[in-house]
C-alpha cells in the first residue's frame, strides 16, 4: 500500500511539475488568443454575411435555370431576326440613296414649277378664266 501511495504521490508530483513547466507556454498561448477574442464580433458578422450569401446562392441556383432558358429563347429569336435585320440595313442604304436622288431631282423641279406658276399667272387668258369661275379670285394664290 505504501508503494501505491508513493507511486500515486510520484505521479501527482510529476503532473504538478509538468503543469508548472507548461504555465509559460499556456501564458503565451493566451496572449496570442487575446487578439482573436477581440475579433469574435467580426467573425459573428461574417457568419451572418455568409448566411445571407448562402441564401442568395440558393435563390440564384433556383432562378438561374429559368433565366438561362429565357436567354436561350432570346438568342434563338435574335438568330431568326438576323437575316431580316441585315436585309433591312441593306434596304435602308438603298432608301437613303433614293432619297438623295429624289431630293436632287425635286430641287430644280420645284424652282421650275414656281417660275411656271408665276408665268401662268401673268398670261392674260388665265386672268379671264379665273374671273369667270365662281368663287375664284385672282389674288387667291
- Reported as a pLDDT band with limits 50, 70 and 90, residue 141 is very low
Q: Which three cell numbers stand for residue 110?
A: 420645284
3-class DSSP state for residue 24? helix
pLDDT 10s digits, 28-63: 887 887 777 777 788 778 888 889 999 998 988 888
Query: Cell 509559460 belongs to which residue?
Result: 24
Query: Above pLDDT 90, what percent of the chain?
Result: 10
Q: Is the per-residue pLDDT at 126 higher than 70?
A: no
The DSSP code sequence of 25-82 is HHHHHHHHHHHHHHTHHHHHHHHHHHHHHHHHHHHHHHHHHHHHHHHHHHHHHHHHHH
Whether residue 107 has pLDDT greater than 90: no
Amino acid at each position: 500500500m505504501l508503494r501505491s501511495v508513493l507511486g500515486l504521490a510520484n505521479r501527482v508530483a510529476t503532473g504538478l511539475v509538468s503543469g508548472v513547466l507548461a504555465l509559460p507556454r499556456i501564458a503565451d498561448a493566451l496572449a496570442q488568443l487575446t487578439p482573436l477574442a477581440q475579433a469574435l464580433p467580426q467573425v459573428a458578422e461574417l457568419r451572418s454575411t455568409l448566411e445571407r450569401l448562402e441564401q442568395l446562392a440558393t435563390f440564384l441556383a433556383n432562378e438561374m435555370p429559368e433565366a438561362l432558358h429565357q436567354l436561350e429563347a432570346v438568342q434563338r429569336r435574335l438568330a431568326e431576326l438576323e437575316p431580316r435585320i441585315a436585309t433591312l440595313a441593306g434596304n435602308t442604304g438603298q432608301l437613303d440613296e433614293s432619297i438623295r436622288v429624289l431630293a436632287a431631282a425635286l430641287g430644280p423641279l420645284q424652282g421650275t414649277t414656281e417660275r411656271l406658276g408665276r408665268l401662268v399667272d401673268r398670261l392674260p387668258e388665265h386672268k379671264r378664266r379665273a374671273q369667270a369661275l365662281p368663287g375664284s379670285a385672282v389674288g387667291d394664290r
